[in-house]
Amino acid sequence: GGGGPKADLDADGTVAARFRSAASRALQLYAIKRGGDAAASGSAVLLEAEIGGGRGLPESPTSSAIGILAVAKATSVDCAAVLGGEVMAGPVPPFPDEDGAGGLSLASRGPLKGLQLDVERMFTERIEIYPRPSRHAEFTRSFVVYTTLKIAFKGLAETSRTRSFDTYGYRQMQTDCEFLRHFLPHYVSDETVTDGTNPLSALCGLLDDIMLNVGERCLDPECVGVGGFYDEGR
């Protein structure tokens, strides 16, 4: 008969905890996989910057930089469909008026020398790139996209240490990093998450680290740190 009280098969919550742990690790591995996909595009960014020398000034972000955002977008859509919530963190930020910004909105300052680069590196934020298996993942779109972009940007930062850049290559990397920075509020929120970091500021810090590495590997020290470039022929 089925009239008696039902036995509680998980009275102490052990089974539920194990399922949560397994689901958390599966989500972490998915985020790492998507980060690897985006990092592959990041490696191509460096190749495009290297082979583009001798063409004056960059005309647009590289297709590889756009590819990083394509992975982030696909990840956002997939996660929102499965985990719920908004598809994006916010609207696409408006681009600055071209007449007032000269086409590129880059911070303008004088060239950075070796000691200045070392000092700037001292103040770059240290963040955990890969999620720890022992720490439960947040079951949110934001967690997955944040992890994806962290892995992509860190991969780009590390790979940039092994390349050399001429003036064009340095400026192309500036353009790509500013392009990625501009779109970050569309993908991640400007708020502190459970690991104590702010996704927006952490990712911007990784982009800064990329440019510090590129600056150290640039063959033209006079262009390092100079953001206000434009085409005098226009």
Q: What is the pTM of this model?
A: 0.79
Q: Tell me the percentage of the chain whose pLDDT exceeds 90.
A: 41
Q: Within a 13 Å sphere around the CA of 102, how many CA atoms are in the beta-carbon half?
A: 13
Per-residue pLDDT of 72-127, as tens digits, reads 999 999 999 999 999 999 999 997 765 444 444 454 444 555 555 455 555 555 77
Amino acid at 17: A
The whole-number pLDDT of residue 99 equals 46
Per-residue pLDDT of 71-83, as tens digits, reads 999 999 999 999 9
Q: Are 24 and 83 in contact (CB under 8 A)?
A: no
SS3 160: helix
Mean pLDDT of the region 48-57: 67
* Nearest by Cα to 191 from 202, 203, 179, 199: 199
Per-residue pLDDT of 10-28, as tens digits, reads 677 787 788 888 888 999 9
The whole-number pLDDT of residue 132 equals 81
Mean pLDDT of the region 182-209: 91
Amino acid at 224: V
Q: Are 222 and 170 in contact (CB under 8 A)?
A: no
The whole-number pLDDT of residue 108 equals 46
